Amino acid sequence: MMKQNRVDRVMAALKDMGLSQMLIVDPMSIYYLTGVYVAPFERFYGLYLREDGKHVYFLNRLFHVPEDVGIEKVWYSDTDPAAELVAERLDHNSPLGVDKDLRAAFLLPLMEKKAASGFVNASIAIDRTRGVKDAEEQELMRAASRINDQAMEKFKELIHEGVTEKEAADQMLKIYQDLGADGYSFEPLVAFGANAADPHHMPDDTAVKPGDCVLFDVGCLKDGYCSDMTRTFYFKEVSEGRRRIYETVRSANEAAIAKIRPGVPLSELDGTARNLIAKEGYGDYFTHRLGHFIGLSEHEYGDVSSASDWKAEPGMIFSIEPGIYLPGDTGVRVEDLVLVTEDGCEVLNHYPKTLEVIG
């Protein structure tokens, strides 16, 4: 059934943009508004919203959806002209907000038919709405992160002399499922030693050695919502130099989190972590933004970076994940998800951040 409160929030955002109608094609955004998920592949799939509430759901006959979703359904077959069916329902005298994911194969025919008085990229209306989680979503995000905390405790037990990154990663899905997760929110990143200097290193046949860092960037999916957390351990021993790097990253994580409250620019959070790392002499080795938004997708629209012009709002959930990456040596990242509250923030991850030497 349609999630009316979410639809109302999207419509209010469209009104602020001077729009009275929008065509949404992103399957995850449609799921967010309807509770129905369809993987359309190459076929057209769309949800048409309009200010009078006479919304329309466009569906290929191959798709399976519940009988009653609370709005009109328009079905078409592979041999039907989908663009014409959509054009018939649009308000030709008003501009149409379009989803940034609307393919040219469908958008151009609508433009050629003058199906609206203009076409505007209106994705920000739903992207910003999805960026602020309602109470139901917040609880689902907490649940996914609780499983991630429990999984992290078990993941570090996978590390022993001679184990490879890939051997450890291959055991993670079962651990998640045994804890009640539905699967991964993304493929786990497991990196030992110098491999951790690549922030997106994928597990390979590298075996762990004493003194290596052991970086786990992992997340699970539970009831449609994602978790994401990074913890960095050291195997058997840790040098003083690497301990200093770790403590610098942890301090940057905690300093940024301490500043979170409604109204604080997200760019300020990035600057807080980045300046602390730079002060310790590692500024050139923090090579990515501080964080990303997350929810139904592991990376949602919006970020915590120097370029962001957003301010923190209650209900936003995003990552805080500073890192230092020394090529050929080591890499450290400490990542938590945070929920902005009315007077600060709630950290969704509870696995400790004190440096652990394992194995």
pLDDT in tens, 270-298: 999 999 999 999 999 999 999 999 999 99
Burial environment of residue 280 by CB neighbours within 10 A (0 to 12, 13 to 18, 19 or more): middle
Residue 43 has pLDDT above 90, yes or no: yes
State mean pLDDT over 335-342. Answer: 98
Residue 42 has pLDDT above 90, yes or no: yes
Name 23's Cβ contacts closer than 8 Å, sequence gap at least 6: 46, 47, 48, 49, 86, 90, 96, 97, 98, 99, 102
State mean pLDDT over 177-193. Answer: 98
pLDDT at 297: 98
- Nearest residue to 42 via CA among 110, 103, 98: 103
State mean pLDDT over 149-161. Answer: 98
pLDDT at 124: 98
pLDDT at 145: 98
State mean pLDDT over 9-19. Answer: 98
Quote the distance between the C-alpha of residue 83 and its chain's center: 31
Phi, psi of 108 (to 5 degrees): -60, -45
State mean pLDDT over 159-183. Answer: 98
State mean pLDDT over 189-207. Answer: 98
pLDDT at 1: 85
Quote the distance between the C-alpha of residue 344 and its chain's center: 21
Burial environment of residue 259 by CB neighbours within 10 A (0 to 12, 13 to 18, 19 or more): middle
Residue 100 has pLDDT above 90, yes or no: yes
Q: Per-residue pLDDT tens for 59-90? A: 999 999 998 999 999 999 999 999 999 999 99
Q: What percentage of the chain has pLDDT greater than the value 90?
A: 99
pLDDT at 289: 98
Bridge-based pairing of strands 56-60 and 72-76 is: parallel
Confidence of residue 18 (pLDDT cuts 50, 70, 90): very high
pLDDT at 115: 98
Query: What value does the mean pLDDT of the chain take?
Result: 98
Q: Where are the beta strands (DSSP E) in 54-174?
A: 56-60, 72-76, 95-98, 118-121
State mean pLDDT over 178-192. Answer: 98
CB 293 within 8 A of CB 223: no
Q: How far is CA 29 from CA 25, 37, 121, in A?
A: 8, 9, 15
